[in-house]
C-alpha cells in the first residue's frame, strides 16, 4: 500500500478493502468514505468519485474499527520486567516503594512509549488508570495528558486514588496514599480542567479509586457522588484475585461485588477491571445493572490471578471490553494480541465455542466503546461514527494462507498495521508512528525506566 506521509483530513476514500464493521454485515471488497473526522459511507465496490479526495488502495487489507483499551497504568511502562514470579499482592507490595519515587518526567516518558505501543497495535482510544500521586512530584495527570495529545490517541484518563494505607488496614504503604479531601479536590479539578463531553471529544476524565484494598468506603462513595454530579464515569479494580476476596470478607464481611453494591458502585456508568472471581449471582448482578468489565487476559495470566468468566458474562448480556493492564504486569502486551489471548483462554476453560473470532473483535472495539460510554460514536464502522479505524495487512506471504482475514487477525500473531486513523487523522501508516518520531517515543520509555530506578534508589 502506497500512502502519503501525512494524509489530509478532508475527504478520504479507501477502496478495495475487506471491511469487518462489527455492526452489520462484512464486505469482502468494498470502500469507506471519510469526511473530516467522520465516516460518511461504506459499502461494496469502489468509492464514488469525489473531486480532491485522497484515494487509498486498501487491497490486501482488513478494515476494523480502531481498538479501544479500557484498562491500563501507563506509568508502569517504567517498571517492567520486575517481580516476575509473584501474586498480585506480593507484586504490589514489592513495587509500591518503586512507584513512590514517580515524578512527572517519568510519567510523561512512560506514557509516551506506552501510548505509542498501543497505537502501533491498532488502538485509537485508550483509558489510563493512574492512582499513584506521591506528594511534590509535579502534575502527573497533566504529564500523561500531554503525552496522549502528542501521540494523537483519544484519551480517557481515570484519576485514580488510594487513601487506605497500611495504618488503616489497607495494602499500600502510607507513603503512597493521599488524604481523602485532597483526592476529592484534585479529582474535581481534573474534571473541570480536562473533561470534554462534546461528541468528537479527544479527552474525557474518569473517576477511579484504585481498589477495595487501597481505597476507603468513604472515598468510594464520595467518588461516586462526585462522578455522578458531574456526569463522568466510574472505574476501579475488582475481584482480581482470591487474596482480594479474602480481604473483603475479612474487612467488610462480604465478597467484592456485594461490597460494591453496598457502596452504590453498580450501574451503567461503572466498569470494573478484571472481575475474575465472580459467583453466579455476581454475574447476574453485573448483567442486570449494566456494569461493564475490562478483561485483561495477559495480566491475569502473568500474575496467576485466574480466568475471568467472560463467555458467561456475555451469555447474560453483560458488557465486556479488553485491556492490556499496566505494563508491569503484562510486559509489552499489544492490544491487538489481547483478542487472541481472550479467545484462547476462554476456549481453554469452556471449549471451542466459548468465544468466536468476531466476538473477540467486538470485545476489543464495541465492548470497549460501551465501557467508556461512547458506543454511539466509536466501536463500529458505520456512517456518522468517528473515523477511528485500523487497516491490517493480511495479504502477506504467510498470512495470505488463512482463508478468513478476521481469523488471521484474531487467531494469528498481529499482522502489520497499514493505517491507523483517529478522527480521520493518520496516527500510524506503513507500520510506523506518524505523529511523532517512533524511536524517540520508545526511547522516552526506556529513559523513564532509568530515571525511576535512580529516583527509587535515592529514596532508600
Which residues make up the interface to Zn ion (CB under 5 A)?
273, 325
Q: At what angle do helices 88-99 and 438-458 cross, to 10 degrees?
A: 90
- Closer CB to Zn ion, residue 153 or residue 275? 275
Q: DSSP string covering 123-178, please?
A: EEEEEEEE----TTS--HHHHHHHHHHHHT-EEEEEEEE----GGGT-SS-GGG--
What distance in Å separates the CA atoms of residue 53 and residue 7, rounded to the nearest whole number? 10
What minimum distance in Å lies between the beta carbon of 66 and Zn ion?
A: 22
What minimum distance in Å lies between the beta carbon of 323 and Zn ion?
A: 8
Task: Write out 290-341 in H/E/C secondary structure.
Answer: CCEEEECHHHHHHCCCCCCCHHHHHHCCCCEEECCCCHHHCCCCCHHHHHHH
Sign, Cα dihedral of 209, 214, 219, 220:
positive
- Closer CB to Zn ion, residue 323 or residue 424? 323
Residue nearest to Zn ion (CB): 325
What is the DSSP secondary structure assignment for residue 215, as one 8-state letter? S
What minimum distance in Å lies between the beta carbon of 382 and Zn ion?
A: 31
- Closer CB to Zn ion, residue 92 or residue 422? 92
What minimum distance in Å lies between the beta carbon of 69 and Zn ion?
A: 12
Q: DSSP string covering 217-282, please?
A: HHHHHHHHHHHHHHT-EEEEEES-SHHHHHHHHHHHSS-HHHHHHHTT--STTEEEEE--S--HHH
Tell me how far CA of residue 201 lies from CA of 197, 198, 320, 397, in angstroms: 6, 5, 22, 39
Q: Answer yes or no: are the C-beta atoms of 209 and 246 closer than 8 Å.
A: no
Q: Answer yes or no: are the C-beta atoms of 113 and 452 closer than 8 Å.
A: no
165 DSSP β-pair partners: none
> In this structure, what C-alpha cell is assigned to residue 71?
484498562
> In this structure, what C-alpha cell is assigned to residue 243?
487474596
What distance in Å separates the CA atoms of residue 114 and residue 441, rounded to the nearest whole number? 9
What minimum distance in Å lies between the beta carbon of 75 and Zn ion?
A: 11
What minimum distance in Å lies between the beta carbon of 377 and Zn ion?
A: 25
- Closer CB to Zn ion, residue 273 or residue 456? 273
What minimum distance in Å lies between the beta carbon of 70 and Zn ion?
A: 11
What minimum distance in Å lies between the beta carbon of 71 and Zn ion?
A: 6
What minimum distance in Å lies between the beta carbon of 260 and Zn ion?
A: 16
- Closer CB to Zn ion, residue 298 or residue 319? 298
- Closer CB to Zn ion, residue 113 or residue 132? 132
What distance in Å separates the CA atoms of residue 14 and residue 414, rounded to the nearest whole number? 21
- Closer CB to Zn ion, residue 265 or residue 392? 265
What distance in Å separates the CA atoms of residue 46 and residue 48, rounded to the nearest whole number? 6
> In this structure, what C-alpha cell is assigned to residue 342?
481472550
- Closer CB to Zn ion, residue 269 or residue 325? 325
- Closer CB to Zn ion, residue 273 or residue 283? 273
Amino acid at each position: 500500500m502506497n500512502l502519503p506521509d501525512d494524509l489530509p483530513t478532508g475527504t478520504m476514500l479507501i477502496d478495495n478493502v475487506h471491511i469487518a464493521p462489527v455492526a452489520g454485515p462484512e464486505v469482502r471488497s468494498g470502500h469507506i468514505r471519510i469526511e473530516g473526522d467522520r465516516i460518511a459511507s461504506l459499502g461494496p465496490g469502489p468509492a464514488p468519485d469525489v473531486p480532491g479526495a485522497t484515494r487509498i488502495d486498501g487491497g490486501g487489507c482488513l478494515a476494523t474499527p480502531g481498538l479501544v483499551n479500557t484498562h491500563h497504568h501507563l506509568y508502569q511502562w517504567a517498571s517492567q520486567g520486575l517481580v516476575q514470579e509473584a501474586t498480585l499482592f506480593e507484586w504490589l507490595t514489592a513495587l509500591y516503594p518503586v512507584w513512590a519515587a514517580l515524578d512527572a518526567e517519568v510519567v510523561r516518558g512512560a506514557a509516551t512509549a506506552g501510548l505509542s505501543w498501543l497505537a502501533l497495535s491498532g488502538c485509537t482510544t485508550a483509558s489510563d488508570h493512574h492512582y499513584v500521586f506521591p506528594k511534590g512530584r509535579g502534575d502527573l495527570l497533566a504529564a500523561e495528558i500531554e503525552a496522549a495529545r502528542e501521540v494523537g490517541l483519544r484519551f480517557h484518563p481515570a484519576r485514580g486514588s488510594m487513601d487506605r494505607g497500611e495504618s488503616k488496614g489497607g495494602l499500600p504503604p502510607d507513603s503512597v496514599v493521599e488524604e481523602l479531601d485532597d483526592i476529592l479536590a484534585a479529582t474535581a479539578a481534573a474534571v473541570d480542567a480536562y473533561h470534554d463531553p462534546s461528541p468528537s471529544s479527544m479527552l474525557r476524565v474518569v473517576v477511579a479509586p484504585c481498589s477495595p484494598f487501597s481505597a476507603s468506603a468513604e472515598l468510594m462513595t464520595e467518588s461516586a457522588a462526585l462522578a455522578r454530579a458531574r456526569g463522568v464515569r466510574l472505574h476501579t479494580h475488582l475481584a482480581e484475585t482470591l487474596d482480594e476476596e479474602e480481604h473483603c470478607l475479612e474487612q467488610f464481611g462480604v465478597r467484592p461485588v456485594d461490597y460494591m453494591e453496598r457502596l452504590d458502585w453498580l450501574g451503567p456508568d461503572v466498569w470494573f477491571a478484571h472481575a475474575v472471581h465472580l459467583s453466579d449471582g455476581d454475574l447476574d448482578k453485573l448483567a442486570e445493572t449494566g456494569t461493564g468489565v475490562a478483561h485483561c487476559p495477559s495480566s491475569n495470566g502473568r500474575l496467576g490471578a485466574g480466568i475471568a468468566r467472560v463467555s458467561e458474562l456475555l451469555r447474560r448480556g453483560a458488557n465486556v471490553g479488553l485491556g492490556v493492564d499496566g505494563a508491569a504486569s503484562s510486559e509489552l502486551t499489544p492490544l491487538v494480541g489481547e483478542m487472541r489471548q481472550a479467545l484462547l483462554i476462554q476456549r481453554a476453560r469452556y471449549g471451542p465455542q466459548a468465544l468466536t473470532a468476531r466476538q473477540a473483535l467486538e470485545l476489543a472495539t464495541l465492548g470497549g466503546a460501551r465501557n467508556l460510554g461512547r458506543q454511539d460514536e466509536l466501536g463500529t464502522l458505520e456512517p456518522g461514527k468517528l473515523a477511528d479505524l485500523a487497516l491490517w495487512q493480511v495479504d502477506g506471504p504467510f498470512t495470505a494462507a488463512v482463508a478468513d482475514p478476521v481469523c488471521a487477525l484474531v487467531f494469528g500473531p498481529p499482522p502489520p498495521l497499514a493505517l491507523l486513523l483517529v478522527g480521520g487523522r493518520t496516527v500510524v501508516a506503513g507500520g510506523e508512528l506518524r505523529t511523532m518520531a517512533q524511536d524517540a517515543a520508545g526511547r522516552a520509555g526506556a529513559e523513564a525506566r532509568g530515571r525511576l530506578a535512580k529516583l527509587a534508589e535515592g529514596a532508600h
